[in-house]
Amino acid sequence: MPGMSGVELTERVIRAKLRTNIVILTVVDDARFPKRLLDAGALGYLTKGCSADELLSAVRQVASGRRYLAPTVAQQLALATLDGSDSPFDTLSTREMEVSMMLVRGMPLTSIGERLNLSPKTVSTYKQRLMEKLHVDHVVGLAHLMTVHGLLDTHNHQVGS
């Protein structure tokens, strides 16, 4: 999605208390990304390789308030839980995650502040905290870490410096 990640959009819809349920349809099936979206409030997660029948079934299930996960995603989530393989991004707050997604897209602090209704100084504080939590020194390192953990699709994003 140009201009906003699925995580950001999901979090915004949930914060706005819109009467809608979210189904994610994506090419990413790595368990860390679905977990982040489900934690953000999405009820369904499918990959673009699903059949039309599966998509329809998922939409109906989510519309009735139940969760739906593509079988491969559900299996990966279950195995990741059993393996105890946590992502360092699990330590970030929702706001820190939003700031990190915007930083790796090359947005300046002032633009991030405008988008999130925060002062540039507050955005800078979020940036500093998330960099410390993730043990990275610059945005390129952040982008690399996000790619390694399945949170950034390098084919659709340009990395800022």
Per-residue pLDDT 10s for the chain (161 aa) are 556 677 778 888 888 998 899 998 887 655 567 777 888 899 998 888 889 999 999 999 999 999 998 887 787 777 766 665 567 887 888 788 889 988 998 999 999 999 888 899 999 999 999 999 999 999 999 988 888 776 765 544 444 43
Domain spans in the chain, listed from the N-terminal domain onward: 6-83, 88-148
Instruction: Give the predicted TM-score (pTM) of the model.
Output: 0.56
- Looking at CATH, the fold of the domain delimited by 88-148 is given as Arc Repressor Mutant, subunit A (1.10.10)
- 88-148 and 6-83 share a CATH fold: no
- 């990395």: which residue's tokens? 159
Superfamily of domain 6-83: Response regulator (3.40.50.2300)
